[in-house]
Structure formats: C-alpha cells, structure tokens
C-alpha cells in the first residue's frame, strides 16, 4: 500500500497552508460538493395545451396536470424531492444550453421550466432497468429472426 498525499504531507506547513487557501476558494468549494451518486431527475414545466403543467420523469414518461399542486404531489409521491437552489439552477442552466444547441430549435414545446427534482437510483432500480433492457434486446433479436425467416 502506498501512503496517501495527505499522509506524506501531514506535517508539512506549506502543504497545510496550500490546502487552507484552496478550500477557501468558492469555485473549489462548488466543485468539491459531495457527489450524490447516480440519480434520476424529473422536471415540472408550464405552458402546454393539454394541461397547464407537465411532469417529465424517467423513461420519457410525461403526465399533464391542470394545477401545480397536483403535479408536485404526483412526482413527490414517486420519491422525488427538490434539489438545493444552487443545484437546481445548474440543471436549469444546463437544460437551457442543451435546448439552445438544437439546430432549428426543439421539435416539441419545452414550456417554461419551473422546477427540477431528483431521487437517488437504488440498486433495485438499477437491476430493474437492466432487466428491461435485456428484455427489449431479446424482443428485438426475436423480431429480427422472424423477419429473416419470412424473407426466405
């Protein structure tokens, strides 16, 4: 086992001073936030004909609501919670950049993004997603075999 940098520099005053200066830097603090691990996000947006509010969640599921409270309660009951203001702002900025990068504009009305929520991905959720992916591939392979057999 190799000693860590912290162990190697444990008594080094210059190192301690450098670490202190680095941790006071706001950008370093922002980048050093604890990684929450895998997570799903959901959004609540406004400005649609089908309903005033739209919830977008995992696997492209979209549900429309007439009232914000209904939309929020729906997604909260699925285990999603609000992000911190800073994290939500970062996601909103990122989605704005992504939508703006689509040449000619987005194909669908994206509405006005109101809120970004998140929930951690559990091992059970990951296993279920993998099982769905395997099932989908098996169906595609079976369909390709049927199509090949009917051509002959």
The answer to whether the CB of 31 falls within 8 A of the CB of 24 is: no
pLDDT in tens, 115-133: 999 998 887 877 777 788 7
pLDDT tens-place string over residues 28-37: 445 445 556 7
The winner for highest mean pLDDT among 15-24, 26-35, 47-56, 73-82 is 73-82
pLDDT of 43 reads: 92
pLDDT at 100: 87
Q: Which residues of 12-35 are buried (b: 16+ CB within 10 A; e: fewer)?
A: eeeeeeeeeeeeeeeeeeeeeeee
Structure tokens given for 128: 């279920």
pLDDT for position 64? 94
Q: What is the DSSP string of 60-92?
A: G-EEEESSHHHHHHHHHTTT-EEPPHHHHHHHH
Instruction: Confirm if 46 and 115 have CB atoms less than 8 A apart.
Output: no
The larger pLDDT score, comparing residue 64 to residue 108, is at 64
Q: For the ranges 65-69, 79-83, 117-121, 143-147, which has the lowest average pLDDT?
A: 143-147
Please state the pTM of the whole predicted model.
0.58
In the sheet that holds 62-65, the strands lie side by side as: 62-65, 53-56, 39-46, 112-120, 81-82
Size (the chain), residues: 152
Number of Cβ within 10 Å of residue 101's Cβ equals: 8
Which secondary structure element, helix H or strand E, spans residue 56, and what is its range? strand 53-56
């Amino acid at each position: 086992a190799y000693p860590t940098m912290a162990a190697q520099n444990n008594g080094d005053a210059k190192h301690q001073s450098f670490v202190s200066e680095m941790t006071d830097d706001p950008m370093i603090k922002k980048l050093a936030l604890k990684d929450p691990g895998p997570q799903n996000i959901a959004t609540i947006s406004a400005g649609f004909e089908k309903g005033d509010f739209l919830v977008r969640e995992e696997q492209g599921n979209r549900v429309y609501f007439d009232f914000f409270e209904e939309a929020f309660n729906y997604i909260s009951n699925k285990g999603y919670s609000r992000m911190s203001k800073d994290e939500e702002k970062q996601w909103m900025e990122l989605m704005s950049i992504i939508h703006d990068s689509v040449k000619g504009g987005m194909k669908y009305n994206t509405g006005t993004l109101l809120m970004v929520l998140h929930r951690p991905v559990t091992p059970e959720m990951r296993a279920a997603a993998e099982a769905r992916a395997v099932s989908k591939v098996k169906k595609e392979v079976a369909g390709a075999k049927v199509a090949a057999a009917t051509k002959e």
